[in-house]
Amino acid sequence: MGYVVLVLVVGAVLVIVLLGGQRGSRNRHDIARHRGNARSARLRSRHIVFTGRAPEHLGTSEGDPVYPLVLQYERSWHSTYEERLKQRVLADNTSMTDEEYSWRKLELDRYFIVCAILKEVPMFSRKIDDLWHDMLMFTADYDQWSARYIGVKIHHQPTLEMKPTPGLRAWFDWVYSQLFEPEPYTRLLWGPFFRHPLEPKLLEQLAEGTEDELLNHVFRRDTAERYPEILGVIRFLMQRAKDQLVQAKGMTKVPRMDQIKVRSSSDSGLFYGDSNEVQCSSNTNYDHLWYCTSFLLLVGSYTSYDHYQEVAAAIDNSERMDNTIITEDVSARDQRHHSNCSSYGCSSNDSSSDNRSDNHSSNCSSSDSGGSSSSCGAGCGSSD
């Protein structure tokens, strides 16, 4: 009798062990499958399909302060250099489409516009920087392009370490936002804008500095003295900064986005607290919101530098429609535009000849998310 009980007990234990093992195996399989699905979902969410084409003239039009400089930039490109660059990039990146190349090239082109204006412009996007690296592979073409564009070579100076550059990123964001409208993939390629305050020293220079002083310390004197197109943009930025700082001085606190007003889409004049003007809030067009947000950056930097996180939170709240701007029908934007890491200065030297070619126009059609405060290994600037 005792023997029978022992056999039953042992059998029951074996059944429990076997069932528990099968259940544990199924649970482990379910967990692994769940993790795999979650990872796949994350990968799918990070896979952005670029559609449409980048706008002509870098999204600018006649009448914009930067438009003459954009035309100068486009004339500096020889069609053969541009075609060879695109062929190399697409050959080395077989998953890249023509559309993605178009949008990346647009942002690199805009970066070079800023390089012609400012003394220091770190590179804040690895994917845009990769395209710059491909440009450098055509050594002779690159040197000739630089000379045609601004009369000096635009050096790419790599660094072995990433350096935080929040102040320079804030300055880049403000200048970029005064010259260009955001495109569907601008933030995806550059990373978040307006996340860092402008530095107090820079604000003081912009508010009190003369044109001569600002050309010595903030903007590029070498290029401004060569080309009136560049000097015109610099003077526009100087005046815009002074005007916005005058408005900032009259404020005792950072305004809410719905308290900032703009005049109209054709006049980007900005006002505070005037109920007769069009409100710059989430129900207005994105260009107004972009400009107002850049103004909030300057006001927040001036009035509450030590508490800029509050400004960043207000900016985040004002950008809830970002997903809309990224996923909108790009073809509609094409019709509207009629379109078919840290080194403080990719420095310039003045040994290159001052010649520009007006015989070749650029058909700059082009296509990661860059860091918001660190640069990616290179930058543009002047050496003086």
302 domain residue, yes or no = yes
Torsion of CA 286, 296, 317, 107, to 10 degrees: 50
Task: Return the percentage of the chain with pLDDT > 70, whole number.
Answer: 62
Instruction: At 200, list the tokens.
Output: 């107090």
- Looking at this protein, which amino acid is placed at residue 375? S
How many structural domains is the chain composed of?
A: 1
Q: Is position 39 within any domain?
A: no
Supply φ then ψ for residue 245, to 5 degrees. -70, -35
How many angstroms separate the CA atoms of 342 and 345, rounded? Answer: 8
Cβ burial of 75 (10 Å; 0-12, 13-18, 19+) is: middle
The pLDDT tens digits for 149-198 are: 999 999 887 655 556 789 999 999 999 999 999 998 999 999 989 999 99
DSSP per-residue string spanning 70-120:
HHHHHHT--HHHHHHHHHHHHHH-TT--HHHHHHHHHHHHHHHHHHTTBSE
155: left (phi over 0), alpha (psi -120 to 50) or beta: beta
pTM of the model: 0.75
Residue 91 to residues 65, 87, 94, 126, 141, Cα–Cα distance (Å): 37, 6, 6, 19, 19
Dihedral sign (CA 27, 33, 35, 41): negative
pLDDT digits 0-9 by tens, 286-331? 567 788 888 889 988 988 777 787 777 777 766 654 444 443 434 4
Q: Flag whether 9 is in a domain.
A: no
Q: CB 278: neighbour CB atoms within 10 A? A: 15
The 10s digit of each residue's pLDDT in 48-63 is 789 999 999 999 999 9
> Is 141 part of a structural domain of the chain?
yes
Q: In which band, very low, low, confident or very high, does the pLDDT at 377 lie, cut at 50, 70 and 90?
A: low
Q: What CA–CA distance (Å, rounded) separates 104 from 86?
A: 11
Cβ pair 327, 188 in contact under 8 A:
no
Low-confidence winner among 22-31, 136-145, 243-252, 343-352 (lowest mean pLDDT): 343-352
| Residue 41 counted as domain residue | no
Determine how many CB atoms are found less than 10 A away from the CB of residue 151. Answer: 21
Note whether residue 234 is domain-resident: yes
Dihedral angle over CA of 348, 352, 357, 360, nearest 10: -60
Structural domain including 220 reads 52-353+376-381
Whole-number Å distance between alpha carbons of 327 and 317: 19
pLDDT at 15 over 90: no
Quick one: pLDDT at residue 296?
87
